[in-house]
Amino acid sequence: MRGFLPLNFCYMLLLSINEATRVTKMKRRKILGFMVVLALGTLNGFSEAGAMELSPEERELFLGEPSSGALLFRNTMVARGTPVGLRGHESSITMKDRYLDVWRIVIPRHAEVLWRECFRGRKSLVHVVFEFGAQLTRIEKYACAESSLCAIDIPASMRTLGERCFAECPLQSILFEPNSQLGTVGESAFSSSFLRSIVLPRSVSTLEASCFLWCSCLDSVTFEEESQLTRVGDGAFFNSGLTFINFPRGHADFAPCILHGSCVTAIFVAGVPADPWLGLHAGTDLLQTLEVSQDIECIRPFCFSGCRALTSVTCAPDSRLVTIEGFAFYETGLQSITLPKSVRVLGEHCFSRCSALTSFSLEAGSQLERVEEYAFSESSLGTICIPASVRALGERCFAECRSLASVTFETGSLLTSVEAYTFYYCSALQKATLPASVQTLGKHCFAFCPSLLSVTCEAGSPPAEIGEGVFESSPQARFVFSHDGERDEASSQD
């Protein structure tokens, strides 16, 4: 009963303060934290026996003394720091067994850094408190990772939250003191936490890669007015629970896949629907159709990756589109596409795993020069005609296109090389024609094509360089020569 009365009293006192002064949420939390400690102190007694004393060996780990007037009760530790910070991993693994149940740690105001791993894995730790007037500027990597921290208030002096500093914590709430100086949220800083919402201070300029990775409970991210955000790293909100986001006004550099795998259905920048060419739509189901305007020259990497609802892409007449970069339409719902003649490069994986893509064509007079590795791998193309301007087909660019039945090349082709595994595992492929210009067939380029009957060589002889296993596991495949008739060639070129 000794604990019940103080707790009840603290609760009533908090209600009175809230009604009388309309204190902020952050202040109410600090008051409530003090009330809880006050009640627990009553349970444990305010005697010296209830306070924790450090042995000489432990004082070597936590150098210095707590600030004047600091109280220390059972299950509460004042983390004694050096003038510049709290010691790192060594302190958290050499502490005496009697400190394993510490649930609350008070960081003294003079500490400037929480070093890496200083509280990592502390399953009893649920509350970290910073003394009033804290001078802390940096929390380093893994500092509180894998602890049981549920909530934290970040002092205004903080400038950097390091890599994975709160990763894999059941952290549900984080608040920043007014006039925060925070500039950088490090890579995976809050990954796999239980955050439901966060308001980022206007001072934040950088959100590093994966900083909210796998935050499945996160449904709201708010940027303060006049935000200074300039960069958002790759996969910053990957597989989060976000359904809506409004990025601040400015010229932020958005990396690819920042929303990939999230639940976002609406994306805005300064209240205006986001420009699709920023790449913010990657991994969402927001886009269903896309029109490429005349002035677009490049589609950035990962720009529409994972947009499974995207079924149609059309390009404006006289389009100036030159490059479609890597993974631009990876795993989309595209069914067919016709590209303008201005396109010169198809980047790696640009249409890979488009399982609904059955038709691909280019305008007459195409200037396409390069089809890079995996460009159409695992798509559903039925036939393909390669423009005369193409000089190289990248490795595995049509690999595992199991519906591909026919491959032809335009007259006057400049193609010189068919790289390794180009048509690997094209199980429906029955015939292919190689232009006279081809000098090299990479290894296994027609391997595992059980339906392949013939590869016609317009030069009248096989290419000068043939890699190993060109027809491996393609038992019926033979070279056919335009002028010499059929040649009895082994099914494997080993």
Q: What is the pLDDT of residues 67-119, one digit of tens each?
A: 333 333 333 445 544 333 444 333 332 333 334 557 778 888 888 888 888 88
- Average of per-residue pLDDT values in the chain: 80
Claim to verify: residue 39 and residue 143 sit in the same structural domain: no
Domain that includes residue 267, residue range: 53-278
Q: Decide if 369 is inside a domain.
A: no
Backbone angles phi, psi at 447, to 5 degrees: -75, 150
Indicate the residue among 246, 278, 310 that finishes a domain. 278
Give residue 33's identity as a one-letter amino acid code. Answer: G
Claim to verify: residue 65 and residue 171 sit in the same structural domain: yes
In this predicted structure, which of 36-50, 213-227, 252-266, 300-314 has the lowest mean pLDDT? 36-50
Claim to verify: residue 36 and residue 129 sit in the same structural domain: no
Claim to verify: residue 62 and residue 204 sit in the same structural domain: yes
Q: Decide if 474 is inside a domain.
A: no
Claim to verify: residue 66 and residue 34 sit in the same structural domain: no
Claim to verify: residue 66 and residue 26 sit in the same structural domain: no
Q: Compute the distance between CA of residue 212 and CA of residue 244 in angstroms, rounded to an integer.
A: 15
Between helix 4-21 and helix 25-44 the angle, nearest 10°, is: 160
Q: Decide if 314 is inside a domain.
A: no
pTM: 0.66
Q: Decide if 260 is inside a domain.
A: yes
Alpha carbon of 423 to those of 82, 114, 164, 334, 478: distances in Å? 63, 54, 42, 21, 15
Claim to verify: residue 19 and residue 74 sit in the same structural domain: no
The predicted pLDDT at position 251 comes to 64
Q: Decide if 28 is inside a domain.
A: yes
Q: Decide if 317 is inside a domain.
A: no
**pLDDT at residue 43 greater than cutoff 80:** no
Claim to verify: residue 158 and residue 246 sit in the same structural domain: yes
Segment (H or E) for 44:
helix 25-44
Q: Which of 346, 357, 310, 351 is nearest to 330 (CA)?
A: 351
CATH number at residue 132: 3.80.10.10
Neighbours of 486 (CB within 10 A): 10
Claim to verify: residue 63 and residue 2 sit in the same structural domain: no
What is the side-by-side strand order in the sheet with 392-393? 298-299, 323-324, 345-346, 370-371, 392-393, 417-418, 440-441, 465-466
Q: Decide if 98 is inside a domain.
A: yes
Where residue 270 falls among pLDDT bands split at 50, 70, 90?
confident
pLDDT tens, residue by residue, 357-415: 999 999 999 999 999 999 999 999 999 999 999 998 999 999 999 999 999 999 999 99
Indicate the residue among 233, 260, 278 that finishes a domain. 278
Q: Decide if 222 is inside a domain.
A: yes
pLDDT tens, residue by residue, 198-247: 999 999 999 999 999 999 999 889 999 999 999 999 889 988 988 888 88
Claim to verify: residue 167 and residue 63 sit in the same structural domain: yes
**pLDDT at residue 28 greater than cutoff 60:** no
Claim to verify: residue 57 and residue 125 sit in the same structural domain: yes
Neighbours of 399 (CB within 10 A): 26
Domain count, the chain: 2
Claim to verify: residue 9 and residue 126 sit in the same structural domain: no
106: DSSP letter: E
**pLDDT at residue 445 greater than cutoff 90:** yes
Beta strands 312-315 and 298-299 are unpaired
The predicted pLDDT at position 237 comes to 92
